Amino acid sequence: MAARPSPKRPARPAAPAASPAAKPLALVYLLGWLIPGGGHLWLGRTVKGLVFLVMLPVMFVIGLALEGRLFPFTPGEPLVALAAIANVGSGLPYFIARALGFGAGRVLSVTYEYGNAFLITAGLLNALVIIDAHDIALGRK
């Protein structure tokens, strides 16, 4: 039986070449998490980084000012744990607020839920910012 000629495979698209100033991804994640926008600043996206550096902590502070709560990791309460994970996403502002005793939350306050919305969203947006920094570091953007 004659061997069938193997069809020519299309060439694979070349992987994006690493830039000469490639940064370690772990450091991009760490910096981006601790300092909102820090990953972008380190990667040279100064304007974007500065916008995140201002807006995300401002959202976090508004959340605290509206008497929102920094949720604890409570075993057996998965929804509270999810909120706690989102809160930790804010990075250094979260740890500073915790250290200074902010974020106790006052359930009876009329703005309590708004405060929670600001605090949780600030952390989740920072996660999106870290993913964006990841794409930039890999040369996808």
Partner 1 sequence: MDTTSHLMLMALFAGCVAVVGGVLLKDTLRQQARSAAEIFGSLVGAALVLGWILYFFPL
Which spans of this chain sit near partner 1 (rule: CB under 8 A)?
A: 48, 51-52, 55-56, 58-59, 62, 65-66, 110-111, 114, 117-118, 121, 125, 128-129, 132, 141
Q: At closest approach, how far in Å is the CB of 125 from partner 1? A: 5
Compare residues 81 and 112 and give the one whose CB is closer to partner 1. 112
Q: At closest approach, how far in Å is the CB of 16 from partner 1? A: 17
Which tokens belong to 34? Answer: 């601790």
Compare residues 58 and 81 and give the one whose CB is closer to partner 1. 58
Compare residues 23 and 121 and give the one whose CB is closer to partner 1. 121
Cβ atoms of residues 88 and 101 within 8 Å:
no
Compare residues 74 and 109 and give the one whose CB is closer to partner 1. 109
What is each CA distance from 42 to 24, 37, 123, in whole angstroms?
11, 9, 20
Q: At closest approach, how far in Å is the CB of 51 from partner 1? A: 5
Decide: residue 28, CB within 10 A, 0-12 exposed, 13-18 middle, 19+ buried.
Answer: buried
Q: At closest approach, how far in Å is the CB of 63 from partner 1? A: 10
Torsion of CA 59, 82, 36, 42, to 10 degrees: -160
Q: Measuring CA to CA, which residue among 130, 121, 107 is closest to residue 58?
A: 121
